[in-house]
Amino acid sequence: MNRSSREIQIVAAIVAANKDLPSHVLIPPGDDMAMIDFGSSRMLVAVDQVVEGVHFITGTSMDLIARKAVARNISDVAAMAGLPIATLACATLPREMSQDIEAELLSAVRRWTAAWGAPLIGGDTTIHRTSSAPLVLSITVMARPRSDGRVLTRSGAKVGDILVVSGSLGGSFHSDGTGRHLTFSPRVEEAHDLVDRLGTSVHAMIDLSDGLGLDCARVIRASSAHCGCTLQARLDAGSIPCNAGVSIKRALHDGEDYELLAAIDPSAPVPTGFISVGKVVEKKVVGSPAVVLVTGDQEEDVSECGWTHE
């Protein structure tokens, strides 16, 4: 089974399960964060992990491991245009790790969560029983909606929308394990700036964790399901901002950029700091690719361009 088919199956299973959720679940699983009605408040919440050998290589510093684990979660908050409030950390540590290194990791988690306005308020630590087992660090992040109540999801893109990204893509993960995937800045400020300036003209948002093709397809599928029509994203090959020395193919595939992708109303100006990369159209044919890359009169299905951490 290819990745899209499997993801579509998983999403279908989530949607099916979501039907049984109680009414206090305002945004069910399937978006960057879930939202629940908490008495008289609404809360956004998500969990995301980094695993040794998957999200970072053995030998990465505790500081950068903690930074990445926290930053990935804060990036989810940015994608919803939320305001970070607090975090929990759950660490599974190699038995070979010394107490000093363990303290260094905890201290780094505390420092980075505080730096992004989401102080660490709890957690759990377990030491692996088996030797040479990978370090796992998961972070739960809690956030609140903006004071104007606006929360962005993946499912609001409409026919005619312009697709914009907040920065250059590709080349985040160097072959020696270093790179921007460890040092990126979550786009919380940019997200709020976008909503401050464009208000309800921002229709949908996601953070680019897995690659422009794959993440854009998620927006298109969620929005198609929401509007009951068949949408397609048409990305303009000439407009996609690539990092230095990175091909368009890699800009679409590499993932771990943690830039924002938003769908905005065509009547709204593309704000400074954002780059228009394409548009949303309606396809009359069910089964059309969710995302195509348009180069001159050529079209290529790029709905599977990206990578998953599985």
Residues that bind its own copies (CB under 8 A): 13, 17, 20-22, 24-25, 28-29, 33-34, 36, 38-41, 43, 45-49, 51, 53-55, 85-86, 88-90, 92, 103, 110, 114, 119-130, 133-134, 136, 138, 140, 142, 144, 309-310
- Least CB distance from residue 75 to its own copies, whole Å? 13
Looking at the Cβ atoms of 140 and 166, the one nearer to its own copies is 140
- Least CB distance from residue 69 to its own copies, whole Å? 11
* Rounded Cα gap, residues 288 and 270, in angstroms: 27
- Least CB distance from residue 124 to its own copies, whole Å? 5
Nearest to 252 by CA among 310, 299, 292, 288: 292
Cβ neighbors of 110 (< 8 A, separation 6 or more) are 119, 120
Looking at the Cβ atoms of 194 and 219, the one nearer to its own copies is 219
Looking at the Cβ atoms of 41 and 298, the one nearer to its own copies is 41
- Least CB distance from residue 102 to its own copies, whole Å? 10
- Least CB distance from residue 38 to its own copies, whole Å? 5
- Least CB distance from residue 96 to its own copies, whole Å? 13
Looking at the Cβ atoms of 126 and 276, the one nearer to its own copies is 126
Query: In terms of DSSP H, where are the helices of the chain?
Result: 3-18, 62-79, 99-115, 188-198, 212-227, 248-253
Looking at the Cβ atoms of 13 and 270, the one nearer to its own copies is 13
Q: What is the separation of C-alpha 200 from the centre of its chain, rounded to a whole number of angstroms?
A: 21
Nearest to 236 by CA among 290, 164, 285: 164
**Strand order through the sheet with 25-27:** 25-27, 34-38, 41-51, 136-144, 83-93, 120-127
Q: Reduce the DSSP state of residue 250 to 3 states and report it.
A: helix
- Least CB distance from residue 164 to its own copies, whole Å? 26
Q: What is the DSSP letter of 21?
A: S
> Tokens 């260094």 correspond to what residue?
104
Exposed / middle / buried, residue 176 (Cβ in 10 Å: 0-12, 13-18, 19+): exposed
Looking at the Cβ atoms of 32 and 161, the one nearer to its own copies is 32
Looking at the Cβ atoms of 144 and 253, the one nearer to its own copies is 144
Nearest to 252 by CA among 170, 180, 152, 191: 170
- Least CB distance from residue 42 to its own copies, whole Å? 8
* Rounded Cα gap, residues 87 and 134, in angstroms: 22
* Rounded Cα gap, residues 130 and 41, in angstroms: 43
Q: Is residue 101 within a helix (H) or strand (E), and if so which, with residue range?
A: helix 99-115
Looking at the Cβ atoms of 20 and 297, the one nearer to its own copies is 20
